[in-house]
Structure 1
């Protein structure tokens, strides 16, 4: 049996970031413009490190390559998912992500990026950008090139506890005053469509990726209504937030003592509220809000004591053929990678 794998996050400074990661979770962030906590990551642009235990100091990517038994021998060359917490102190750029096939062909074999958001907190009256109103690709291109953003972009009001599934090809942006936990494919490819004509610390406008974005934007926009399934037991309330081709995501609300079966193949877990103790065959492990860990395949059944809330995810398996299947795009391919 193996213990849970507690991980040390990686923090990213962003032009739109703030201080909520320190104020709300007690993290030691690098500056007052920290926008992203890469909480559970095997991506080479920011790998989590095992915090304690027999694999202390080992990166998640290395653990994936050397000890695949911890992950139920799940297939794939790299760790499939990435968990983030995002502090949108200011508006994020309006952006879109490619799917697996487009990213494979145009981003040096990178994965596409389907993601989802759980709204941890937001200011009263907050909203986000989710989709667009164009009915044809011609209308989409015209509005983008004319800068008619107010009539193109679809804004949605939000409140804490809301959940959004954001498949590749969806125009989206978090807006100021929003704190979210994001579960996504392990990818760092983003195509910026509009950035409010902002300038960085050196006075330069950030790069846009209009042609790539137009290649991959879904037209017309479809809101994916995901059926959520809830299970209420005496000490735990479980909500299955989404099941997609890439991941399933759950929320656990625990009051007292709750028992769980052995995870399969493995689970990513983030404590978003409360504290307590996790008990399994290898010992007792205290946890608190802001901890991030992996329940490995060989952890066995376990219990959680205390009052706490969690967001958890597990990967869904896609074959290589499905990941790189050819797709139809309305524009000519654009050379060169674009990441943010």
Structure 2
């Protein structure tokens, strides 16, 4: 495996239909140029779906302007340790990470699972995702899953009528707070209130089924992945998500806690899809983050990423983002910083093959 260093990534703000982005700009130490830059895609080697084929919107770049996708594709063994024998592109890192700063409510929507994506979209990944709350205005909430079984025919009628109130009134509402991690299984209807700033980790696709397009700039015909609603609604669960199951999708972590071991920030059920850790050393040196591709975001403080293999160090300050290659080996954090570390699921990429979670 080649030895390569963590690479600083340039800001990658995304224009979108909804307002927000000021908290991203403040964290990253950059200027917000539009009131409609509510997302930043971190370490992305996949691009947004709603553009011409071959479009580059969403793709992460280094400070020198080089696409991370091209770096990974040129040396996948060094970057991911996975080679190219797992049935996806050489640039596949197994994960997509975003910052999302919503100043208005996002629509009710659903993402397909891997089985649906494989059979209908020729894609190895669905879009299970998770949210980690960085800031939230008092009383702001997310909506996750149905609180009661929903009749599929009734849902079709309410979707066509764009009856937002009906949909939201039948969803579980979770008031969020800083440090909360929430898993959103594929197939589960969900929405996010305005006032929430979060880090989102997900499978590396941009596949969304809009049940509520009227609050976006999309049309009905842009809301069903090009498959038609008769087909795509097969990816949408209409079963209730009971309270007991809902509680298993939510965990809470005190982001001010410092410990010399990486701390998982998501429910255990997320592990096959992606992993997210907080690394906030109490003293110099931490238990290492395992070798493998990861995206590292310095939430605060400063310090260094230190390779356990080579002893190489890469300094960081608050707001910086790095793509960390597998070839850096296991690594630790020195200093006063708090670093969010996101990586592909446990066992990736074997989980994409028969016998895995696909």
Q: Is TM-score (shorter-chain normalized) higher than 0.5?
A: yes
Which of 89, 102, 108 matches 1:94?
108
Distance in 2 (CA, whole Å) between partners of 1:122 and 1:234 is 22
- CA displacement, residues 103-140 of structure 1 (integer Å, 9 cap, x when unaligned): 23333536310110000001011111111123254464
Distance in 2 (CA, whole Å) between partners of 1:27 and 1:107 is 37
Instruction: Kindly indicate whether the alpha-carbon contact (under 8 Å) linking 2:258 and 2:280 is maintained by their aligned counterparts in 1.
Output: no
Q: Give the C-alpha shift of residue 248 in structure 1.
A: 2.1
Q: Give the C-alpha shift of residue 218 in structure 1.
A: 2.0
Distance 1:136 1:49, change over 3 A: same
Instruction: Kindly indicate whether the alpha-carbon contact (under 8 Å) linking 2:8 and 2:320 is maintained by their aligned counterparts in 1.
Output: yes
Structure 2 partner of 1:13: 15
Distance in 1 (CA, whole Å) between partners of 2:142 and 2:14 is 21
Distance in 2 (CA, whole Å) between partners of 1:205 and 1:140 is 15
Q: Taking structure 2 as the reference length, what is the TM-score of the superposition? A: 0.77
RMSD: 3.1
Q: Give the count of matched residue pairs.
A: 316
Q: Residues 41-52 of structure 1 correspond to what in structure 2 (within 5 A)?
A: 41-45=44-48, 46-51=58-63
Structure 1 partner of 2:53: none
Task: Kindly indicate which of the two structures has a greater share of residues assigned to strand.
Answer: 1
Distance in 1 (CA, whole Å) between partners of 2:249 and 2:198 is 18
Q: Give the C-alpha shift of residue 171 in structure 1.
A: 0.7
Structure 2 partner of 1:192: 210
- CA displacement, residues 67-97 of structure 1 (integer Å, 9 cap, x when unaligned): 1222212544223211100010111111100
Q: Which runs of 5+ in 1 are unaligned?
A: 326-340
Query: Are residues 1:114 and 2:123 paired?
Result: no
Distance in 1 (CA, whole Å) between partners of 2:30 and 2:284 is 27
Query: Are residues 1:279 and 2:306 paired?
Result: yes
Q: Which runs of 5+ in 2 are unaligned?
A: 49-57
Which of 75, 100, 107 matches 1:67?
75
Distance in 2 (CA, whole Å) between partners of 1:234 and 1:26 is 24
SS at match of 1:50: coil
Instruction: Kindly indicate whether the alpha-carbon contact (under 8 Å) linking 2:211 and 2:223 is maintained by their aligned counterparts in 1.
Output: yes
